[in-house]
Amino acid sequence: MGDRGGGIRGRAKPSAYSKRRKAYIAELDSLLNKSVIRYVGSDKSIKIGFNKKGNSHLADDVMTKNLGLTKTDLPKLNDYLREAQYDGSSSLIKERKDNIVRFYYFKDNNKNVYYNVAEQANKRKNGKIDKSRFLYAVTKY
């Protein structure tokens, strides 16, 4: 018997959601080489970057939540984050598999959202811990 329905292997057409999500992630790709330095209290500043994992999560947030952000806002998130007001941080209650240990929160009064910045702690072979921070999520307030 032949393959009548187009088959499953590699021939399935991407859904409209999948196509739209891919376009949103493409808009965020311009941020992969950008970063923002932000003051987070106690004479401490952190460097916040962007990565593929965070961008994927951001695309989902903007597409599925009513945040008031559009696809054209995505490449500007570094500027929005730069202007947002620091609103605290929190350690995690339970351990995560992705090594995220803390979140920093920045409030954008123009867009009425919080930018949630993840802090990831990765342990090197020599025992030293490298911390990286990246924009992980956007939530409404």
SS (H, E, C) 55-116: HHHHHHHHHHCCCCCCHHHHHHHHHHHHHCEEEEEEECCCCCCCCEEEEEEEEECCCCEEEE
**CB–CB of 106/35 below 8 Å?**
no
Look at residues 81, 71, 74, 75 and name the one whose alpha carbon lies nearest to residue 113: 81
Contacts of 134 (CB under 8 A, 6+ apart): 48, 49, 50, 51, 53, 54, 117, 118, 120
The total number of residues shown for the chain amounts to: 141
Q: Is 121 helix (H, G, I), strand (E, B) or coil?
A: strand
**H or E element that contains 134:** strand 129-140
pLDDT tens string 41-73: 888 999 999 999 999 999 999 999 989 999 999
pLDDT reported for residue 80: 97
Mean pLDDT value of segment 15-24: 92
Q: Is residue 9's pLDDT more than 70?
A: no
Report the distance separating Cα 118 and Cα 71, nearest Å. Answer: 22
- Identity at 56, one-letter amino acid code: S
Q: Is the pLDDT of residue 2 over 90?
A: no
pLDDT at 108: 97
pLDDT surpassing 90 at residue 12: no
- Confidence class of residue 29 from pLDDT cuts 50, 70 and 90? very high
pLDDT tens by residue, 95-120 = 888 899 999 999 999 999 999 999 99
- Position 124 scores a pLDDT of 86
Confidence category of residue 122, pLDDT binned at 50, 70, 90: confident
How do the domains of the chain map onto residue ranges?
A: 34-140
